[in-house]
Amino acid sequence: MSAPDRPDPELLDRLVAAARAARERAYAPYSRFAVGAAVLAGGRVYPGVNVENASYPQGICAERAAVAAAVTAGERSIDAVAVVGSSEDVTPPCGGCRQVLHEFGPLMLVVAESPGGARAEWTLSELLPAAFGPRSLA
């Protein structure tokens, strides 16, 4: 499998901006750690936010909400994901989200931006080497 083309800088900025805007709509009354994410799939941007719950383990991460929105729209291949969290430093996707993202784009670009604008980038394969994925079931 070959890596998706790197999205051009304007599109990447738009993806990060969508994650940042979504973050304003996060539902995080328990952790108070609002996260916005956006995935790029089929040339479209699908945002998501963390949605917490009074039954704490039922909360979902922003990345997973964004993946669900893209898949609901019919997408099956994700080229990039942007994440904006609430700490001073960038928020990389949690381990569970790395696994969920891997299903739809093992070589996708992962961009994390802090509220203040510091940016970090990885490929998903850097964040989740030797991953278990669809092919592992063959």
Output DSSP code: residue 129.
Answer: T
- Read off the tokens for 38: 């956006």
Give the HSE-up count for residue 39: Cα atoms under 13 Å, Cβ half-sphere: 31
Closest approach, Cβ 135 to ligand THU, in A, equals 24
Closest approach, Cβ 85 to ligand THU, in A, equals 7
Q: Which residues fall within 8 angstroms of residue 74, CB to CB, at 6 or more apart? A: none
Contacts with ligand THU by CB under 6 A lie at 28, 31, 33, 35, 50, 52, 59, 61-63, 91, 93-94, 97
| Active-site residue identified among 10, 24, 52, 63 | 63
Q: Which residues pair with 81 in a beta bridge?
A: 39, 110
Closest approach, Cβ 8 to ligand THU, in A, equals 25
- Read off the tokens for 123: 């490929």
**Is 121 in the active site?**
no
Q: Which residues pair with 83 in a beta bridge?
A: 37, 112
The SS3 of residue 5 is coil
Which of residues 99 and 125 has its CB atom nearest to ligand THU in the complex? 99
Closest approach, Cβ 115 to ligand THU, in A, equals 14
The SS3 of residue 63 is helix
Residues belonging to the active site: 63
